[in-house]
Structure formats: C-alpha cells, structure tokens
C-alpha cells in the first residue's frame, strides 16, 4: 500500500512531464494553429500573434523533438517547408479542448458585471 505522499508524487510526476513539454506561452497556440491544418512558417507567424520569428523557430524545433509536429521539406524552388500535427500531437486535442472550456468559464467568472 502506498503512502499518501507516494500517491501524490505519482500523480504530480506525469503532469509535470506534460507541462515540461507544452510549457511557455507559445507552444499551445502553435499546436492549436496547426490543428486547423498544415501551415508554412509565415502562416504560423501570422496566426500566432506576437511571436517573433526566432521564438517560433525555437518552439517548432522543441515540438518536433517531442514528436508533436512534423516538419516536411518539399523539393521546390525555393524550398517549401510545411508544419503539421503528428498523430501523437493530435492526442492533445482533448487536453486542449478541456483547457479552452475551463478558460472560457474562468474568463466569464472574472469578467461578470456585478
């Protein structure tokens, strides 16, 4: 039988793992933008308002390393690069939907006129 402390640590550990992967202010917006379809770099830059090209490049690399997105290079002139959600990345859909729903409720709770 596990102690309450052991159970607590076992509960926290996987949540921390997720937060380590999707941390920061940009990764989730990038994943959400890609959930609406494949995009090129400039399209993502426009969709994710406020992100710099340098930060977008870094975040895309991190998401690719964690196998959440796929970077496809097409042999065109000039070279075309497209980003898409991987099947693994799509497994976050329910998590993102739950965050969105909670965020909508929280926003309405905070901004209720008294």
CA distances from 79 to 44, 54, 58, 82 (A): 17, 19, 20, 10
SS3 111: coil
> Where would I find the H helices in the chain?
4-21, 27-35, 41-47, 53-65, 87-90, 93-110
Residues of the domain holding 65: 4-110
**What is the percentage of the chain residues whose pLDDT exceeds 70?**
98
Q: What is the pLDDT of residues 47-91, one digit of tens each?
A: 999 999 999 999 999 999 999 999 999 999 999 999 999 999 999
Looking at the structure of the chain, the number of domains it has is: 1
Residue 36 has what DSSP assignment?
T
- The answer to whether residue 113 scores a pLDDT higher than 90 is no
Count of beta carbons in the 10 Å neighbourhood of residue 59:
21
State the CATH number of the domain containing residue 37. 1.10.10.10
């Amino acid at each position: 039988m596990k102690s309450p402390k052991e159970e607590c640590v076992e509960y926290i550990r996987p949540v921390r793992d997720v937060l380590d992967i999707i941390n920061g202010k940009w990764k989730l917006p990038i994943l959400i933008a890609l959930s609406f379809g494949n995009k090129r770099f400039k399209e993502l830059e426009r969709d994710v308002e406020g992100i710099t090209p340098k930060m977008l490049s870094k975040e895309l690399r991190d998401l690719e390393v964690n196998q959440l997105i796929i970077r496809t290079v097409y042999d065109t002139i000039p070279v075309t690069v497209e980003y898409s959600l991987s099947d693994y990345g799509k497994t976050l859909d329910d998590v993102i939907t739950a965050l969105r729903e909670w965020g909508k409720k929280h926003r309405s709770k905070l901004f209720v006129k008294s």
